[in-house]
Amino acid sequence: MQDSLLIKLAVVILFLPLIGFIVTVFFGKSVKKVYVFENLVLIASFILASILLYGKLNYYIDTDLFSEFEWINLGEVPLLGLISIKLGLMLDNVAAIMIWTVMLISLVVHIFSIDYMKGDIRYNHYFAYLGLFTFSMSGIVLTHNILMMYIFWELVGLSSYLLIGFWFEKKSASDAAKKAFIVNRIGDIGMFIGILLLFITYQTFSFDSIFIQLADGKLPFNSEFWLTATGLLIFCGAIGKSAQFPLHVWLPDAMEGPTPVSALIHAATMVAAGVYLVVRVFGMLTGDALLIIAVFGALSALIPATIALTQNDIKKVLAYSTVSQLGYMIMALGVGAYTFAFFHLITHAFFKACLFLGSGSVIHNMHHEQDITRMGGLRKKMPLTYAAFLISSLAISGVPLTSGFLSKDGILAGTYAFASLTGHWLFPLVGFFVAMLTAFYMFRLIILTFHGEPYDKEKYEHAHESKFAMAMPLVVLSILSIFFWYTPNPIDPGEGWVLSKWIKTPEIFTPVETRYDFMKPDENAAVDHSSAVVYSSSYTEAMHNAHYPAMFLSLIVAGLGILLAFLFYQWKRIDPDKLANKFKPLYNLSYNKWYFDEIYDATFVAGTLMLSKFLGWFDLKVIDGIVDGSAAVTKGFSKFSGMFDNIVVDGLVNFIAILSGFVGLIFRKMQTGKVQTYIVMVIFGLVILLFLFKSF
C-alpha cells in the first residue's frame, strides 16, 4: 500500500459525502428515494475509512502523510516575498482514528434516521444536510492547515444551523439554530484573530511549517506572552464549538433538532471538533495557555454537571452531560494528558451517540414525550434499548469493564499526577466530584425512564421496541463501549494498543522556558530526539504513581453516585423534593441553568439590540436630520432669495419688460409686415453703424 494511495483515499472519503449532499439536495424534491443514495454514499465512505484506518495503522503507523496544493498565489509580494496559500490533507494516526469514528457514527445515525424521520415533509433534505455535515466534519479532521480548518469549522456551523433549525416551523427551533450559529461565531472570532496572528508571524497556515518555525524560536511579536495569547485565541474557537464555559449555552438549546442529529452533531462529533482543534495545536500551547485551558475545562465540567442534576428533559440532561464530558477532555489536555483526552474523545463519541440514539428510540416510541418524570417502567417494553442505554451509562459513569472507565480513569490519573507535580489540587478534586455527579444524574435518568411505574399508562401501553434499523445502531455502539476493543487489560488502558501504539503524545514546540516543568526534556534524555516520549521522566513516574489511587478513587465516587441515584429514585429512601426545598437557592440555580441565558439576554443581547435601536434612531434622526436640516436651511435660504428674486429682481425685470412693451407699442407702427420697409430700416441702421465706426 502506497502512501499516495492512502491520501487519495482520504480525498475520496472527504468528497463522497459532498457528492451525496449535492445529489440529494437537488433531487430531493423530484426523486422520492434519493435518500437511499445518501445512505449508500455513507456506507461506501465508511468502508473506505475502515480501509484507510487499517492501512494507516498497519503500514504507516509512525509516519504522517501529507498532500497539499496551491489554492491562492499572491505572487511576489513587496516586502514579504512569495506568498501562496496552500490547502491540503494530513493523515496521522489521530486523524485516521477520528475520521473512522466520524464515519461510523455518521453511518449509524443515517441508518437510525431512516425510520426515525419517516414521514417528515423534508425527509430527503434531512439526509442531504447530514451529508453536508459529514463532509465538513471530515474536512476538519483531515486538514493540515488552520485556515482550512476554519473553513470547515464554519461549514460545520452551517450544517449544524440547518439541522438544529430543521423543524423551523417551531420558533424555538429557529431560535436555537440562530443562537447556536451566533454563539459559535463569538468563539470563531477569537479563533480567527488567532489565525491572523499566526499568519502574520509565520506567513503560512500549515500546522507543520508553523511548528517548524516555532521550534526555530520564531514567536509572534517575539514575545512568549503573545504565543500564549495566540494559543488561547485559537482555543476560543474550541470554546465555542465544544460548548465550553462560558459559551456552552447554545448546546442544550440545540436539542431542538431531531434526536439523531443531536447524537451525531451535538454529542459525538461536531462538539468534539473543539477538542480535536486543541489536540491539533497542542504542540504550540505554552504552559500558561494550557493552565488557562485546564481552568476552562474544569469549569465546563463542573457547572453543566450541576445543572444536569435537576433537568427533566431527557435530551437536556444528555446535553449537559456532553458539555461536562467535553470539559473533562479539555481539562485533560490542559493538564497535559493528551493521549487520554483523545482517547476519551473517541470512547465518549461512541457511548454518547448510543445514549442519544437510545433517548431517540425512547422519544420516538413515546410519541415525542421528552420529560423523564412522565416516563417510567420502559425497561419491560424496550429491553434492547434499555440494555444499550445501561451499558453506555455505565461507560459514562466510569464503571470497570467499559471503555469509559479506561479513558476517564486515565484523565483523572492525569489530573492527579499533574496536581502532584504542580500542586494544583483543585483539578483532581473537580474531576472526582464531577465523576460522582455524572454517575448520579445518569442513573437518575435511567431509573426515572426505565425503572419504576409508568407515569402515563396509555402511552406506556403503546410503547414498543424499535425496529431493526433503529435498534441495530444502538447495539453496535453499545458493543463499542466495552473495553476489549481498546485494551486486553480492563483496568490498565496503558497496555492497550490504542494508547501504546496508536496515540502518542506529540512533540512540544514551544520554547522550553514556557512549558510546564514536567514537559521540559530531561537532560539525559535530550539526546534522543526521535523518541516519542516528550515529557520528562518525572511525569511518567507521577503518572505511574497516580494510576492506582486514581482508579480506586474513581471507582468509589462512581459507586457513590450510582448508589445515591438508587437511594433517591429507585428505593425512594430520600425524597428529592424535600432536599430540593431545603436547598432552594441551590436547586433553583441548578434548575435554571445558573441563569446563564437570562444574564446573557439581559446584558449582551439586550445591550446590542438597544445599541442598534439607538443607532438606528441616531442615524434616522441625527445624521439624516443634519442632512435634511442642511437641506431645509438651503431651502429656506432659497425661499428667501426666491422672494427677493420675485419682488426685487423680477420686479426690475418686469419693469423693464413693461417699459419695453411701451416702447414696443410705439415701434409697433413700424411693423408693416412689408419686407421692403425692413430693408429701409436696415439701411438706416447700416448708415448709423458706418457713421459710428468711421475711421476717417
CA–CA distance, 610 with 382 (Å, rounded to integer): 51
CA–CA distance, 413 with 390 (Å, rounded to integer): 25
Q: Check binding of 328 to another protein (CB under 8 A).
A: no
Q: Which listed residue (74, 602, 606, 658) binds another protein by CB under 8 A?
A: 74
**Piece in contact with another protein (CB under 8 A), picked from 180-188, 308-316, 506-514, 543-551:** 180-188
User: In whole angstroms, how close is the CB of 682 to another protein at the nearest point?
Assistant: 9
Q: Check binding of 129 to another protein (CB under 8 A).
A: no
**Residues binding another protein: what is the number (CB under 8 A)?**
73
* Range 682-686 contact pairs with CB under 8 angstroms and sequence separation of 24 or more: none
Q: Specify the residue, 138 or 339, whose C-beta has the smaller distance to another protein.
A: 138
Q: Check binding of 615 to another protein (CB under 8 A).
A: yes
Q: Which listed residue (126, 150, 250, 427) binds another protein by CB under 8 A?
A: 150
**Piece in contact with another protein (CB under 8 A), picked from 4-12, 90-98, 151-159, 468-476:** 151-159
Q: Which listed residue (512, 609, 656, 670) binds another protein by CB under 8 A?
A: 609
User: In whole angstroms, how close is the CB of 234 to another protein at the nearest point?
Assistant: 14
User: In whole angstroms, how close is the CB of 473 to another protein at the nearest point?
Assistant: 30
**Piece in contact with another protein (CB under 8 A), picked from 252-260, 385-393, 409-417, 615-623:** 615-623
**Residue 640 neighbours by CB distance under 10 Å:** 10
Residues 6+ apart with CB under 8 A from 72: 84, 85
User: In whole angstroms, how close is the CB of 683 to another protein at the nearest point?
Assistant: 4
CA–CA distance, 141 with 159 (Å, rounded to integer): 16
Which DSSP category does 1 fall into? -
Q: Specify the residue, 608 or 646, whose C-beta has the smaller distance to another protein.
A: 608
Side-chain half-sphere exposure of 696, counting CA atoms within 13 A: 1
**Which DSSP helix (H) or strand (E) runs through 652?**
helix 650-668
User: What Å distances lie between residue 43 and 22, 107, 138, 157, CA to CA?
Assistant: 17, 6, 15, 24
Site string for another protein, 339-378 (x = CB under 8 A): ----------------------------------------
User: In whole angstroms, how close is the CB of 95 to another protein at the nearest point?
Assistant: 20
Q: Specify the residue, 237 or 336, whose C-beta has the smaller distance to another protein.
A: 237
Q: Which listed residue (11, 43, 186, 212) binds another protein by CB under 8 A?
A: 186
> Is the bond leading into 220 cis (omega within 30 degrees of zero)?
no
Q: Map the footprint of another protein across residues 655-674, applying CB under 8 A.
A: 671-674
Q: Are the beta carbons of 327 and 300 closer than 8 angstroms? A: yes
Amino acid, res. 417: A
Q: Which listed residue (3, 115, 175, 313) binds another protein by CB under 8 A?
A: 175
**Piece in contact with another protein (CB under 8 A), picked from 279-287, 525-533, 593-601, 616-624:** 616-624
Q: Which listed residue (126, 152, 343, 418) binds another protein by CB under 8 A?
A: 152
CA–CA distance, 140 with 536 (Å, rounded to integer): 31
Q: Map the footprint of another protein across residues 80-119, applying CB under 8 A.
A: 80, 83
Q: Specify the residue, 571 or 693, whose C-beta has the smaller distance to another protein.
A: 693
Burial 410-433 (b: 16+ CB within 10 A, else e): bbbbbbbbbbbbbebeebbebbbb
CA–CA distance, 541 with 323 (Å, rounded to integer): 31
For helices 338-365 and 314-334, give the axis angle rounded to 10 degrees.
Answer: 180
In the chain the first and final C-alpha atoms are separated, in Å, by 117
Q: Check binding of 579 to another protein (CB under 8 A).
A: no
**Residue 394 neighbours by CB distance under 10 Å:** 25
Q: Check binding of 401 to another protein (CB under 8 A).
A: no
User: In whole angstroms, how close is the CB of 658 to another protein at the nearest point?
Assistant: 24
Q: Map the footprint of another protein across residues 222-261, applying CB under 8 A.
A: none
User: In whole angstroms, how close is the CB of 197 to another protein at the nearest point?
Assistant: 8
Q: Which listed residue (40, 61, 200, 632) binds another protein by CB under 8 A?
A: 200
Q: Which listed residue (104, 128, 155, 299) binds another protein by CB under 8 A?
A: 155
Q: Specify the residue, 38 or 409, whose C-beta has the smaller distance to another protein.
A: 38
**Piece in contact with another protein (CB under 8 A), picked from 343-351, 362-370, 613-621, 659-667:** 613-621
CA 314 remoteness from chain centre:
22
Q: Which listed residue (15, 27, 66, 71) binds another protein by CB under 8 A?
A: 71
Q: Check binding of 320 to another protein (CB under 8 A).
A: no
User: What Å distances lie between residue 294 and 233, 244, 301, 431, CA to CA?
Assistant: 15, 11, 10, 11
CA 605 remoteness from chain centre:
20
Q: Which listed residue (599, 611, 652, 663) binds another protein by CB under 8 A?
A: 611
Place of cell 520564531: 218
Q: Copy the grid coordinates of residue 566.
A: 438508587
Q: Copy the grid coordinates of residue 606.
A: 439586550
Q: Three-class SS of residue 408? A: helix
Q: Specify the residue, 529 or 669, whose C-beta has the smaller distance to another protein.
A: 669
Phi-psi region of 75 (alpha: psi -120 to 50; beta: other; left: phi over 0): left
Q: Which listed residue (627, 643, 657, 663) binds another protein by CB under 8 A?
A: 627
User: In whole angstroms, how close is the CB of 136 to another protein at the nearest point?
Assistant: 9
**Piece in contact with another protein (CB under 8 A), picked from 39-47, 49-57, 584-592, 684-692:** 684-692
Q: Check binding of 22 to another protein (CB under 8 A).
A: no
Amino acid, res. 173: A
397 φ, ψ (degrees, to nearest 5): -80, -15
User: What Å distances lie between residue 22 and 8, 127, 407, 573, CA to CA?
Assistant: 21, 11, 38, 57
Place of cell 496552500: 86
Q: Map the footprint of another protein across residues 501-560, applying CB under 8 A.
A: none
Q: Check binding of 72 to another protein (CB under 8 A).
A: yes
DSSP bridge pairs for 73: 84
Query: Which of 328, 335, 278, 268 has its CA nearest to residue 302?
Result: 328
Q: Check binding of 587 to another protein (CB under 8 A).
A: no
452: buried, middle or exposed (CB in 10 Å: 19+, 13-18, 0-12)?
A: middle
Q: Check binding of 616 to another protein (CB under 8 A).
A: yes
User: In whole angstroms, how close is the CB of 206 to another protein at the nearest point?
Assistant: 15
Q: In 282-337, which residue ranges form alpha helices assigned H by DSSP?
A: 287-308, 314-334
Q: Specify the residue, 532 or 690, whose C-beta has the smaller distance to another protein.
A: 690
Q: Check binding of 151 to another protein (CB under 8 A).
A: yes
Polymer length of the chain = 696
CA–CA distance, 192 with 161 (Å, rounded to integer): 20
**Piece in contact with another protein (CB under 8 A), picked from 170-178, 224-232, 491-499, 568-576:** 170-178
Q: Which listed residue (140, 197, 318, 378) binds another protein by CB under 8 A?
A: 197
User: In whole angstroms, how close is the CB of 265 to another protein at the nearest point?
Assistant: 17
User: In whole angstroms, how close is the CB of 34 to another protein at the nearest point?
Assistant: 15
Place of cell 430543521: 166
Q: Are the beta carbons of 330 and 300 closer than 8 angstroms? A: yes
Q: Check binding of 192 to another protein (CB under 8 A).
A: yes
Q: Check binding of 76 to another protein (CB under 8 A).
A: yes
CA–CA distance, 330 with 341 (Å, rounded to integer): 7
**Piece in contact with another protein (CB under 8 A), picked from 104-112, 190-198, 261-269, 310-318:** 190-198
